Structure 1
Amino acid sequence: MEALVCKKLGDPTLPLSDSSPIFVSNDHPIPNLTSPTSVRVQIKATSLNYANFLQILGKYQEKPPLPFIPGSDYSGVVEAVGTGVTKFKIGDFVCSFTALGSFAGKIVAEEKDLFCVPDGCDLVAAGALPIAYGTSHVGLVHRARLSAGQVLLVLGAAGGVGLSAVQIGKVCGAIVIAVARGTEKVNFLKSLGVDLVVDSSEGSIIESVKKFLRARKLKGVDVLYDPVGGKLAKESLKLLNWAANILVIGFASGEVPVIPANIALVKNWTIHGLFWGSYKIHQPKVLEDSVAELLSWLAKGLITINISHSYTLSEANLAFSAIKERKAIGKVMITFGDNRETRSRL
């Protein structure tokens, strides 16, 4: 089968060659079923997340031994089932996530780790959902307890997790303020009905948000969703209400912000560090319930997944470039095969 293999640490945006840290293997062994309850999935689509990029660079908190197949969330079609599998049959549409291995034509997973893609859902979109939307759902719904009428500020709002946070915020009934860079991203966010979109390349973000809050007679921001870090995150602290929740999602800026503990004390802020993948170890039921609810929202049209860029496995370096250069509005995907049949037929 076809698989993308990371042979050494380095920049995955380099053209695929001997100097690249990644290469495409066209004869990688097809994985066998590992237990009576295991399922082999022919992968249709797999999502690129910023964590995948960092992992190949060797800058992610989890560092797998070399060589490895990168990749995390995916969707596909059940190809084989173990003798003890009762939930799925060959031909079913499923999605899931894994620590490694989805940048390949096939993958084996345990039955309990797979989710049925609801009737009518796009299969490629389902492959983009678990990690980005799961991160925002767990953060906003499970941790910050975002409620109707609260003010949500989303930094990096046009990226994969940012865009998911914006949509989930709207489903929760929050007043959503989105920060993004560039006219194209700003216009896209406006088309989603975001209450305020601020272009970070133009003027003062803080003043724009304060003006909006005054006009709405709002005191401040109740939940800060931060996948960016750096100066922008530090400045955004000036906007937070008493008893606000801060969700630390990541550091796309490359700079880890310092949150003054004395101000957090006086303001009664709650700071949530959110490493989504660790829930798989410590509270797997939270992840299962979260992804299941998100899939139901997708089926009902409450959320939509914007696929910004789609590539083949042999174009993986271009896919990583789209992530690195922040070209994406929404998700970057690697797809396998043709796209003629990509909607669930359950």
Structure 2
Amino acid sequence: MPSTPIRKVVIPVYGPELENVQVVSSTIDDPTHDHVQVRVIYSGFSGTDVNMRLGRYPMQKSTSLQNPLTPGYCLVGTIEKNGSGSKKFKAGDMVACLMVYDAEAELCNVPEKYLVSVPKGVDLQKACALIIDWTTAYGMVMHVGNVHKGQKVFVHGMSGAVGYAVGMLCQLQGAEVFGTASQRNHETIKSLGWTPYDYNNKYWMQAMKGMGGADVVFDPLGFESWDESYSVLSSNHGLLIGYGGNLATLNDQPSRGVLFPTIKLLSRNMMCPVVHKNTRFYYITRDDKTFLPDLQSLFYLLSDNKIDVRIKAVYDMEDVQEAHKSWGKTGSIGSMLMKVARDV
């Protein structure tokens, strides 16, 4: 089968060393039946990339020196060529895709059914941020939390990609937004009309309880943070939405399993039927029936200037180690991206 030379990111060995993620020369075969080859312009970059390097991402595929893993959870790019049976797109069409793997490469082969057209005129960096960061937020806010006007919501990690998107969408629904963020970002967050707290001093717990509790808490940290978040829920149908489990990674701690904290919270729901608190855990996949319409709704909101999609940093693919080093430490809010194409 014909192959094309490319550059791509690989993780041949799991571990904390930055050298475990590197850029190499490789080749890619032509797309097979019902697949399409995409020339990547931007790939999303997030805590998922860091957790994959550490070997912590749930159910991630194996890696080896002979067959290294290529990260890259989502992409925006142009159609390079079609495999047999693929006719929906033509060469040069701009598309987006939720990948999980392989987006941090100059070319990648994708099942045609997972590609989504990017509307003309949309900022490509912002479009890339929508694919995973904002669709994750949209699913939690609109489908799980059913956030509405008059509610108080609490968002951990308001400076982060998903946390910022959650706050923006909750505000769009008419909710009052509280949450935690790095002290350096508090003034920016206050300018949005949100109320930030420093996670470390725990005053946020006292403050939220003093207001009667939060109607919905969004918590990507896990472990003891889920317990703390549960404690600030309103007793009147408060809901904790857990996702991510990034507490150990953010604090440079050893890997910790999320199974026990998950079971503990679910058991607490059943053991306290009189207290109207509940817990839901969220994970997005491209096979969800809501994924495509959610992304299309977000494209509409972006085109109509109803959401402010912020990009905190864009790294060239060759600087992938610096991106890993900087995750969780940048002094701004929004999404991080990897610029894969050299001529953008």
Output the TM-score relative to the length of structure 1: 0.84
User: Could you tell me which residue of structure 1 aligns to residue 54 of structure 2?
Assistant: 57
1:92 and 1:191, CA in 2 relative to 1: closer, same or farther beyond 3 A?
farther
1:240 and 1:332, CA in 2 relative to 1: closer, same or farther beyond 3 A?
same
User: Could you tell me which residue of structure 2 aligns to residue 216 of structure 1?
Assistant: none
In structure 2, how many angstroms separate the alpha carbons of the residues matched to 1:292 and 1:62? 28
Count how many residue pairs are aligned between Structure 1 and Structure 2: 320
Aligned-residue offset at 1:103: 0.8
- Contact preservation (8 Å) 2:161, 2:334: yes
Aligned-residue offset at 1:264: 4.8
Q: Alpha-carbon deviations, 1:17-42, whole Å to 9, x = none?
A: xxx2122112x11341111x422211
User: Could you tell me which residue of structure 1 aligns to residue 231 of structure 2?
Assistant: 238
Establish whether residue 307 from structure 1 lines up as the match of residue 311 from structure 2: yes
Establish whether residue 337 from structure 1 lines up as the match of residue 341 from structure 2: yes
User: Could you tell me which residue of structure 1 aligns to residue 15 of structure 2?
Assistant: 10
In structure 2, how many angstroms separate the alpha carbons of the residues matched to 1:179 and 1:305? 19
- Contact preservation (8 Å) 1:69, 1:100: yes
User: Could you tell me which residue of structure 1 aligns to residue 294 of structure 2?
Assistant: 290
Q: What amino acid is aligned across from residue 75 of structure 2 in structure 1?
A: Y
- Contact preservation (8 Å) 2:11, 2:53: yes
Q: Percent identity between the aligned chains?
A: 25
Q: What amino acid is aligned across from residue 190 of structure 2 in structure 1?
A: K
Aligned-residue offset at 1:190: 2.1
SS at match of 1:30: strand
- Contact preservation (8 Å) 1:31, 1:107: no
Could you tell which deviates more after superposition, 2-11 or 75-84? 75-84
- Contact preservation (8 Å) 1:151, 1:176: yes
**Structure 2 spans left out of the alignment, 5+ residues:** 1-5, 249-255
Q: What amino acid is aligned across from residue 55 of structure 2 in structure 1?
A: G
In structure 2, how many angstroms separate the alpha carbons of the residues matched to 1:207 and 1:270? 20
Aligned-residue offset at 1:62: 1.7
- Contact preservation (8 Å) 1:44, 1:124: no
Q: What amino acid is aligned across from residue 292 of structure 1 in structure 2?
A: Q
Aligned-residue offset at 1:174: 1.5
- Once the two structures are superposed, the pairs formed by residues 173-184 of structure 1 within 5 Å of their partners are 173-183=174-184
In structure 2, how many angstroms separate the alpha carbons of the residues matched to 1:72 and 1:261? 33
In structure 2, how many angstroms separate the alpha carbons of the residues matched to 1:63 and 1:50? 14
Q: What amino acid is aligned across from residue 97 of structure 2 in structure 1?
A: S
Tell me how large the CA RMSD over aligned residues is: 2.3
Q: Alpha-carbon deviations, 1:79-123, whole Å to 9, x = none?
A: 223454443222222111112101101112222211111232111
In structure 2, how many angstroms separate the alpha carbons of the residues matched to 1:288 and 1:335? 24
In structure 2, how many angstroms separate the alpha carbons of the residues matched to 1:328 and 1:101? 27
User: Could you tell me which residue of structure 2 aligns to residue 22 of structure 1?
Assistant: 21
1:107 and 1:191, CA in 2 relative to 1: closer, same or farther beyond 3 A?
farther
User: Could you tell me which residue of structure 1 aligns to residue 189 of structure 2?
Assistant: 189
Q: What amino acid is aligned across from residue 238 of structure 1 in structure 2?
A: S
- Contact preservation (8 Å) 2:181, 2:197: yes
- Contact preservation (8 Å) 2:32, 2:84: no
Q: Alpha-carbon deviations, 1:203-254, whole Å to 9, x = none?
A: 711233355x3xxxxx431111001235444333332122111101122222
Q: Alpha-carbon deviations, 1:251-300, whole Å to 9, x = none?
A: 222275554716753322221111223xx45xx31212222212221211
